[in-house]
């Protein structure tokens, strides 16, 4: 029997016992009016923080003018957003959808259609251990986490898995598999525990893909849109992907995903091959266009790089020599603090201290603060978090 209101929800999440009613910048307020420092930003979504005045007014303006028309008609906001994302990334065309999983579905469909057009039967996509690509059947099949897959068999076939971070493992596949068409990889793994590969990893993957005529497809759903201190994580190096997927930070919380592509991959979808009722509607595109404009005007890439470097350095200084601390790593405002033991309990302890953090891959405290976080807020975060981690490990 349903006794509480929350019983009417399918129990897909073990939710923390707090409900927020209002936000402002890097702060959230619960039903009792208690104030929390948000170091998670809705899982890398609220890059502009909460209730950013320019976003609020742009959304009000757009909602009062036009929310949705369907993709049966031309949508100027969508065209403008595609142009903006292509010029920021160096890619050629964009397809818009409503989530990260959907963006990756589009990428997987592009890879399969490219293979089909080349006469390759049973095409395969190389994916990584510990990866996360979403919860739809194809994307959970691509995901390198058994917990995400268990019970949903039969999985979608056509994925070949190798360890993350090893370009050699990918190169080895080239000699055995004649039907590979693409490599799908996160530049830095988020859900997998904030895993940062060697700096030349993508360059090496690019070379292998070029040598074998495979598509290099980057899942930047978590790392894209300024999170790492560049617009896209691949821009820390000098390569271009063939396909890139985006979602989380793109619409600042208004659902929107994108699959960008260049070259042959950008020309593969023709009318009838893919679509979305909501994808790229004027409202969602206004949210994304405003997000990108505020990021540029307010120098949020620079801020993400600067505040992220401060948080990592300050945490390292405060936790130096503490037994049980394995590593502090990250790039910009995606930060992982790996401990030597499972630390899921730290999330509740942080909540009690009015701080929102996350733990992923059992032993990694993950921080994904809003890109607008100030130095003062970051200093408060590191002070409180370091004390919490120190007490937890002692």
Ligand X SMILES: *Cc1c(COP(=O)(O)O)cnc(C)c1O
- 225 versus 386: smaller Cβ distance to ligand X: 225
Q: Are 305 and 354 in contact (CB under 8 A)?
A: no
Looking at beta carbons, which residue is closest to ligand X? 100
> Which residue, 381, 377, 358, 372, is CA-closest to 49?
372
Rounded to whole angstroms, the Cα distance separating 22 from 9 reads 22
Rounded to whole angstroms, the Cα distance separating 380 from 154 reads 48
Rounded to whole angstroms, the Cα distance separating 190 from 131 reads 8
- 77 versus 191: smaller Cβ distance to ligand X: 191
List residues bridging with 160 in a β-sheet: 126
- 81 versus 246: smaller Cβ distance to ligand X: 246
Q: How far is the CB of 188 from ligand X (least distance, A)?
A: 9
Q: How far is the CB of 10 from ligand X (least distance, A)?
A: 16
DSSP three-state, residue 228 = coil
CB burial of 93-120 (b: ≥16 within 10 Å; e: otherwise) equals bbbbbbbbbbbbbbbbbbbbbbbeeeee
- 218 versus 372: smaller Cβ distance to ligand X: 218
Rounded to whole angstroms, the Cα distance separating 128 from 238 reads 22
Rounded to whole angstroms, the Cα distance separating 276 from 238 reads 33
Sequence-separated contacts (24+) of 268-277 with Cβ below 8 Å: 268/110, 268/113, 268/114, 268/117, 269/95, 269/106, 269/109, 269/110, 269/113, 273/109, 273/113, 274/95, 274/106, 274/109, 275/71, 276/71, 276/96, 276/97, 276/98, 276/102, 277/70, 277/71
- 210 versus 362: smaller Cβ distance to ligand X: 362
- 130 versus 206: smaller Cβ distance to ligand X: 130
Q: How far is the CB of 329 from ligand X (least distance, A)?
A: 17
Q: How far is the CB of 190 from ligand X (least distance, A)?
A: 4
Q: How far is the CB of 148 from ligand X (least distance, A)?
A: 11
106 to 173, 261, 305: CA distances (angstroms): 24, 10, 30
Q: Which residues bind ligand X (CB under 6 A)?
A: 99-101, 104, 132-134, 186, 190-191, 219, 221-222, 247-248
Q: How far is the CB of 386 from ligand X (least distance, A)?
A: 26
- 132 versus 234: smaller Cβ distance to ligand X: 132
- 219 versus 377: smaller Cβ distance to ligand X: 219
Q: How far is the CB of 90 from ligand X (least distance, A)?
A: 20
- 140 versus 307: smaller Cβ distance to ligand X: 140
Q: Are 393 and 339 in contact (CB under 8 A)?
A: yes
Q: Are 38 and 370 in contact (CB under 8 A)?
A: yes
Q: How far is the CB of 134 from ligand X (least distance, A)?
A: 4
Q: What angle do CA 279, 114, 210 make, to 5 degrees?
A: 110
Q: How far is the CB of 44 from ligand X (least distance, A)?
A: 7
Q: How far is the CB of 51 from ligand X (least distance, A)?
A: 22
Q: Are 125 and 226 in contact (CB under 8 A)?
A: no
- 189 versus 382: smaller Cβ distance to ligand X: 189
């Amino acid at each position: 029997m349903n006794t509480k209101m929350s019983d009417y929800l399918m129990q897909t999440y073990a939710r923390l016992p707090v409900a927020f009613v209002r936000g402002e910048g890097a702060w959230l307020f619960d039903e009792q009016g208690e104030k929390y420092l948000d170091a998670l930003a809705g899982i890398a979504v609220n890059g502009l923080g909460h209730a950013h005045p320019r976003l609020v007014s742009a959304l009000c303006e757009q909602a009062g003018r036009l929310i949705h028309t369907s993709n049966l008609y031309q949508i100027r906001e969508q065209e403008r957003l595609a142009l903006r994302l292509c010029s920021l990334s160096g890619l050629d065309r964009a397809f818009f959808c409503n989530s990260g999983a959907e963006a990756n579905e589009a990428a997987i469909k592009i890879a399969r259609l490219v293979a089909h057009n080349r006469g390759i039967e049973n095409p395969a996509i190389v994916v990584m251990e510990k990866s996360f690509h979403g919860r739809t059947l194809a994307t959970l099949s691509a995901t390198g986490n058994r917990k995400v897959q268990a019970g949903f068999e039969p999985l979608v076939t056509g994925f070949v898995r190798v360890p993350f971070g090893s370009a050699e493992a990918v190169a080895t596949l080239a000699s055995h598999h004649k039907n590979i068409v693409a490599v799908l990889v996160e530049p830095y793994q988020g859900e997998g525990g904030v895993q940062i590969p060697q700096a030349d990893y993508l360059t090496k993957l690019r070379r292998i893909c070029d040598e074998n005529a495979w598509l290099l497809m980057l899942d930047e759903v978590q790392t894209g849109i300024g999170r790492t201190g560049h617009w896209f994580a691949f821009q820390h190096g000098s390569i271009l992907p063939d396909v890139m997927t985006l979602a989380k930070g793109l619409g600042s919380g208004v659902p929107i995903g994108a699959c960008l592509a260049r070259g042959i991959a950008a020309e593969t979808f023709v009318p009838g091959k893919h679509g979305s009722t909501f994808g790229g509607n004027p409202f969602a595109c206004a949210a994304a266009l405003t997000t990108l404009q505020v990021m540029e005007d307010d120098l949020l890439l620079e801020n993400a790089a600067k505040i992220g470097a401060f948080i990592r350095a300050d945490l390292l200084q405060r936790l130096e020599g503490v037994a049980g601390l394995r590593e502090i790593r990250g790039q910009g405002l995606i930060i992982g603090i790996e401990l030597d033991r499972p630390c899921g309990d730290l999330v509740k302890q942080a909540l009690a201290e009015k701080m929102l953090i996350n733990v992923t891959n059992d032993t990694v405290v993950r921080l994904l603060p809003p890109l607008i976080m100030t130095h003062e807020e970051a200093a408060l975060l590191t002070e409180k978090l370091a004390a919490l981690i120190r007490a937890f490990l002692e």
